[in-house]
Amino acid sequence: MYVCTVYCPSYHKPEVVDGAFQREIQCRADTEYSCESAACCVHDPSVGQPVSGILMSKYVLKEVTINGASGTLRSIHMTLAYWGFVLMSFHLGLHVRAMAAPIVKKMNKAVRVIVRILFLLIAAYGVYAFERRGIGDYLLMRVMFAFFDFSESRVRFLWDYAAVMVLAAAAGYYIQSGMLMIQKRRYKDLAK
């Protein structure tokens, strides 16, 4: 084991050097590049994914090569794609209330209950699809390559990922709802 120094944004109380943060990471000698790539890319999938894609590409920046890093870059790229999918879905859930408000006003109470139950059932299926597709393993970088069963129906594939999307959006929505309830209670307590 040895220590490699990485310059990138970090939230672990590092030392500031030239406007960037310096952090030391323990690495094995044969994976020096993985420390540098992973540390800088994992903080933000929207930055890390293009960076890992460009570094993997043999066309965009031909001069920039990291010898032997393609496997690690590929797994970082794939992991960040899954994190991006989950975080964007979660973020969508934070905005459901605002997007659905004009539609919900026109619905009667029975229809609202039915729609809510329908989305909760889809989210429940999303838990099953999350496990079945092994998305947790992709998020935790336990899988080094993507597996696609080409004999499987495309509709089933899309349905599973849509259900996982609804699951993450429902998590965002209900976490936000819980936080809003806590906030309302605090305001009521302060008003008394």
The residue with greater pLDDT, 67 or 102, is: 102
Q: In terms of DSSP bridges, do strands 15-17 and 2-7 run parallel, antiparallel, or are they unpaired?
A: unpaired
Q: What is the CA radius of gyration of the chain?
A: 22
Number of domains in the chain: 2
16, 65: one domain: yes
Task: Give per-residue pLDDT as tens, 99-129.
Answer: 998 998 899 999 999 999 999 999 999 999 9
pLDDT the model gives residue 91: 96
Q: Same structural domain for residues 82 and 67?
A: no
pLDDT at 32: 37
- Based on the fold, state whether residues 67 and 82 are members of the same structural domain: no
- To the question of pTM greater than 0.75 for the whole model, the response is no
Domain that holds residue 158: 78-191
Residue 29: is its pLDDT beyond 70? no
Look at residue 36 and tell me whether its pLDDT is greater than 50. no
Domain match, 59 and 115 both: no
| Closest among 127, 186, 191 to 178, alpha carbons compared | 186
Residue 34 contacts residue 58 (beta carbons within 8 Å): no
